[in-house]
Amino acid sequence: MSPKYISLSIILVGLVVSAVIFFTNAVVPKNTEALPYLGNVYVKGGKQTIEITAKGGFEPKTSVAQAGYPTTLEITTKGTYDCSSIVSIPELGVRQNLPASGVTNIDLGTRQPGILNGTCGMGMYPFTIEFK
């Protein structure tokens, strides 16, 4: 093999390794406290908040959160007078009336990986939180 091909091979390997390192660091944060706001879930100060709205159902209907963090579900209402003005999370024994307009925080504790299901007062409007 000529020196020209050896040099070219070394440069190519270096570029591939650099690209792998760059994209791995860009996609997988090493410090979860530095996680950006991802959709409706964020981590700040070691605590996780999941934001949803209630009016004619819950939005978003599905949220993905991280297991192992103390978590608060923050439900915002704005002129909500339908059955989504009551939130029910049977697994946690939660059944709570929400104000017509305002913010209600519900402590979900520190969850293990799995699915947590919730619904409106009549069971018509479900929502799901997947903890990974």
Q: How high is the pLDDT of residue 58? A: 98
Taking the mean position of all CA atoms in its chain, how far away is CA 102? 21
Q: What are phi and psi of 100, to 5 degrees?
A: -60, -35
Mean pLDDT of 85-94: 97
pLDDT, tens digit, 9 for 90 and up, residues 23-48: 554 443 334 454 555 689 999 999 99
Q: Is the dihedral of CA 29, 34, 37, 43 positive or negative?
A: positive
Amino acid letter, 88: S
Taking the mean position of all CA atoms in its chain, how far away is CA 25? 20
Residue with tokens 């993905």: 64
Distance CA 34, CA 37 (A): 9
Nearest Cα neighbor of 65 from 119, 128, 120 is 128
Specify the higher pLDDT residue, 86 or 9: 86
Q: How high is the pLDDT of residue 12? A: 60
- Mean pLDDT score across all residues of the chain: 85
What beta strand segments (E) does 12-100 contain? 41-44, 47-54, 58-59, 62-65, 70-78, 86-89, 94-97
Amino acid letter, 78: K
pLDDT, tens digit, 9 for 90 and up, residues 50-79: 999 999 999 999 999 999 999 999 999 999
